[in-house]
């Protein structure tokens, strides 16, 4: 997948969890094709410095796609264009 990484627009992220530290965003991938089960959703990916491979979804993404997190069974449910996944 050849995605175009653009320059950072000044965004910084603070991941939650053990030892949270502000991560420098080194680039953005706009309209990246994200898939949740069978639903494909465009979203902005933030490329952060570090050696871990992680995906951070912002609260704006959760609001836009009406995402619900169920910690009891580690599931995320979303609604996009009337479809649920």
pLDDT at 38: 84
When the pLDDT of each residue in the chain is averaged and rounded to a whole number, the result is 79
In a domain, 69, yes or no: yes
**How far apart, in Å, are the Cα atoms of 4 and each of 11, 30, 52, 71?**
17, 8, 20, 33
Domain count, the chain: 1
In a domain, 6, yes or no: no
Q: Tokens standing for 68?
A: 């619900």
Is the pTM here over 0.85, yes or no? Answer: no
| Mean per-residue pLDDT, 32-46 | 83
Domain that holds residue 61: 12-84
| Residue 56: HSE in the Cβ half-sphere, 13 Å Cα cutoff | 19
**How far apart, in Å, are the Cα atoms of 21 and each of 8, 17, 18, 30, 43?**
18, 9, 9, 24, 23
Per-residue pLDDT reduced to its tens digit, 45-80: 888 777 677 666 777 888 888 888 888 988 888 888
């Amino acid at each position: 997948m050849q995605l175009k990484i653009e320059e950072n627009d000044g965004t910084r992220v603070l991941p939650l969890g053990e030892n949270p530290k502000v991560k420098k965003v080194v680039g953005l991938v706009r309209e990246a094709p994200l898939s949740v089960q069978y639903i494909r959703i465009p979203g902005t990916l933030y490329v952060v410095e570090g050696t871990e491979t992680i995906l951070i979804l912002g609260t704006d993404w959760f609001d836009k796609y009406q995402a619900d997190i169920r910690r009891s069974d580690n599931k995320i449910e979303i609604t996009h264009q009337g479809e649920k996944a």
